[in-house]
Amino acid sequence: MPVDRNILEVRNWGVIDYQTTFDAMQAFTAQRTAGTPDAVWLCEHPAVFTQGLAGQSDHVLDAGNIPVVASNRGGQVTYPGPGQAVVYPLLDLKRSGFFVKQYVYRLEEAVIRTLSEFDVVGHRVRGAPGIYVRLANPLNHARLDIPAQGRDQFAGLGKISALGIKVSRHCTYHGLALNVVMDLSPFARINPCGYIGLQTVDLYTMGVNITVAQVHDLLHQHLEALLQTSRA
């Protein structure tokens, strides 16, 4: 029987260890068949540094008591931790009709639309996946200027959402994380996403008082709507 491409099975794992979720995503992807429905997993992780496939050990400045876990997602080192809304879509791109770049665009767009619910404007930075906000005025809708060669492309910006995916047999896992209300100090113990001095912010520092569960709901709603555009 053909799979209904409009079905996204949602699972909320609550607070769960990163390695446990990583192992579960790999197992799900390895075992899925042409008849396996796509899924979206929502969760929050205890403190951990994760190194992507491009990760370099010198970008972990002082791990201290926070474990460092090797991951097979794209990108470099980042920090999942309490107060962060994590979303892992497990999607068959071939069945859904998306190219990888189209899929990544929709992940970022789901974050941008979620931020807009609170009048916070999210921005993309060319060549640096994730979503950024203007530190001085997070409500500024003006398009970001492309910096002149040699200038800091992140000047005046803070990263509020990280993104990293893995595609195996045209199926995705890993996903995105949006900082909601975090202890941001661990980000100072790494070069976030491999960028020296990159500032990291959360919704709370933007003046938004909301829970991780509420942000999960919004991210899921926007992501599902965006994924439907090629699933009908």
- Any idea what the CATH number is for the domain that residue 224 is in? 3.30.930.10
pLDDT at 149: 45
Give yes or no: 193 in active site: yes
Structure tokens of 200? 């990291």
pLDDT at 229: 64
Structure tokens of 64? 């201290």
80 domain residue, yes or no = yes
**What is the residue range of 55's domain?**
8-142+154-228
116 domain residue, yes or no = yes
pLDDT at 201: 97
Strand 38-44 to 8-15 pairing: parallel
- pLDDT, one tens digit for every residue, the chain (232 residues): 445 555 689 999 999 999 999 999 999 999 999 999 999 999 999 999 999 888 888 999 999 999 999 999 998 999 999 999 999 999 999 999 999 999 999 999 999 999 999 999 999 998 899 999 999 888 877 777 766 444 578 888 999 999 999 999 999 999 999 999 999 999 999 999 998 999 999 999 999 999 999 999 999 999 999 998 654 4
pLDDT at 141: 77
15 bridge partner residues: 44
Total domain count, the chain: 1
pLDDT at 54: 85
pLDDT at 155: 86
207 domain residue, yes or no = yes
Distance CA 38, CA 12 (A): 14
CB atoms within 10 A of CB 174: 25
Distance CA 188, CA 113 (A): 28
Strand 49-51 to 68-70 pairing: parallel
2 domain residue, yes or no = no
148 domain residue, yes or no = no
pLDDT at 1: 43
Residue among 48, 193, 218, 223 flagged as catalytic: 193
Which of 192, 157, 162, 190 has its CA nearest to residue 175? Answer: 162
Look up residue 59 and give its amino acid: H
Structure tokens of 18? 């990163």
Strand 157-168 to 123-125 pairing: unpaired
Distance CA 60, CA 16 (A): 23
pLDDT at 147: 60
**What is the value of pTM for the model shown?**
0.92
pLDDT at 208: 96
* Residue-wise burial string across 62-93, b where 16 or more C-beta atoms lie within 10 A, e elsewhere: eeeebeeeebebbbbbbbbbebbbbbbbbbbb
